[in-house]
Amino acid sequence: MEPLRIDGAEGEGGGQVVRTALGLSLVTGRRIRLVDIRARRGRPGLLRQHLTAVEAAARIGDARVEGARLGSAELDFAPRGIRPGDYSFDVGSAGSVTLVLQTVLPALLAADAPSRLRLFGGTHNPLAPPFDFLARVFVTTIRRMGARVNLELVRHGFFPAGGGEVRAEIHPSPLAPLHLLQRGRVVRRRAEAIVSNLPLSIAERELRVVGWEDAEARPVESAGPGNVVMLHVESEHASELATGFGAKGVPAERVAERALTEAERYLAADVPVGEHLADQLLLPMALAGGGGFRTLPLSSHATTNAALIERFLPVRFLVSGGMVRIEGARGR
């Protein structure tokens, strides 16, 4: 069969196209050919975290692969079957381990035996969902769909040093449709500010800006300096985590303001699903064959993801205002 050709420069055109295509190739057994990978980015082609995702998908899918090298703009990927087991993958930089995990998670949920993963690299990277978002928001939500996933943060890894470790245990789990239409009342708001190899006073200044009663500033160990503010909103029917990452030359107060602005936007919208979770729920809901949720306006990241998923699976995404519905597509 001819491979499904995917233009990596279409739509949002980032690494999400690579990860979603790999994940769906594993689940469906469909050979794919990616071209113009990340063509419009400042550093086009495959970077280390993308290569690690390719390596992970290839090992788990027993795949034949061409083009798996740094900077490659084309990739041919032909899986031969899902192979559960114990795996270890090292990004070798501060590239996100959470994105590598999300690449292979759908396939391992569809496997015929449990798997255990050890992932080394960046756990708290400003260009990817941090471990805490994955554990407290994404995994918490897909567990309601039937997913059996356990995550453990062994060591933090901040950009640019990396050196973090995450462990995951994944059991085969059929996914059921989920309808997230109401957030319900907010039952808890918790603020955390963590620092590594930096003064604790930075985290304390950040929490003063946030001003939430339930707050904790704490140091953590990692290979290099790092700082993140995390604002966790728990409601009756949903969770959200807003983040702000410290950076050289950026005052602590500004870092906190960014996280607080994101959290307040979510709270003001009175929707159960935040912008980033909306993007990440599209694939598991499509695999479940249905469901729906209310959210903020979809990002270009999410609309690109939806269009790609529809090329692999017999589903369609119906978007109206802040409502997203997933339906089986007739005649496909």
Higher pLDDT, 40 or 73: 73
pLDDT digits (tens, 9 = 90+) for 124-173: 999 899 999 999 999 999 999 999 999 999 999 999 999 999 999 999 99
The CATH number fitting domain 84-175, selected from 3.65.10.20, 3.40.50.300, 3.40.605.10, 3.20.20.450: 3.65.10.20
* Residue 236: Cβ within 10 Å count: 11
Q: Comparing C-alpha atoms, which of 277, 325, 285 is closest to residue 177?
A: 285
Work out the pLDDT band at 88, boundaries 50, 70, 90: very high
Strands 178-180 and 291-294: parallel
pLDDT digits (tens, 9 = 90+) for 292-312: 999 999 999 899 999 999 999
Q: Comparing C-alpha atoms, which of 325, 323, 301 is closest to residue 10?
A: 301
Angle between helices 252-269 and 200-210 (to 10 degrees): 40
Look up tokens 């107060």; give the residue.
253
Q: Which CATH class is domain 1-80?
A: alpha beta
Inter-residue contact 14 to 34 (CB < 8 Å): no
Predicted pLDDT at 92: 83
Predicted pLDDT at 202: 98
**And the tokens for 201?**
């006073």
- Rounded to the nearest integer, the mean pLDDT of the chain is 94
Q: Alpha-carbon distance 175 to 264, whole Å?
A: 31
Q: Alpha-carbon distance 70 to 23, whole Å?
A: 20
pLDDT over threshold 60, residue 332 = no
As a whole number, mean pLDDT of residues 116-121 equals 97
The answer to whether 301 is a known catalytic residue is yes
Q: What percent of the chain is modeled with pLDDT above 70?
A: 98
Q: Comparing C-alpha atoms, which of 71, 68, 64 is closest to residue 52?
A: 68
Q: What's the predicted TM-score (pTM) here?
A: 0.94
Q: Which CATH class is domain 186-268?
A: alpha beta
pLDDT over threshold 90, residue 10 = no
Q: Domain residues of the chain, as ranges?
A: 1-80, 84-175, 186-268, 272-332
- Among candidate residues 124, 156, 276, 301, the one labeled active-site is 301
Q: Alpha-carbon distance 107 to 214, whole Å?
A: 38
